[in-house]
Amino acid sequence: MGDELIEVENETTMRREEAAARLRELADQLSRHNQVAFSRDGVRYTAAVPDEVTLNVEIELGEESEIEVEIRW
């Protein structure tokens, strides 16, 4: 696979509690396994995450509000 860029974007409408559960699942993967796993077209990928990352959290309030969480390494 080498330097191939893999980008997965998924937008789903769900209940607030379900969104919180997905965030907890992502946090668990980062803290327990030092990686994030995802599937695309039936193929499972894992992204190794180093010990130090850059975390960016943005909150926009208005007619349509959002919280954006970005983790970079």
What residues are paired with 59 via a beta bridge?
67
The tokens describing 21, both together, are: 């559960």
The pLDDT of residue 16 is 96
- Closest by CA to 6, choosing from 47, 42, 55, is 47
Evaluated on CA atoms 60, 64, 67, 73, the torsion sign reads negative
Q: How far apart are CA 23 and CA 28, in angstroms?
A: 9
C-alpha distance from residue 56 to each of 10, 28, 29, 33 (Å): 19, 18, 18, 21
The pLDDT of residue 72 is 95
Q: What is the mean pLDDT of each run of 10 residues along the chain (73 residues)?
A: 71 95 93 86 89 96 96 94
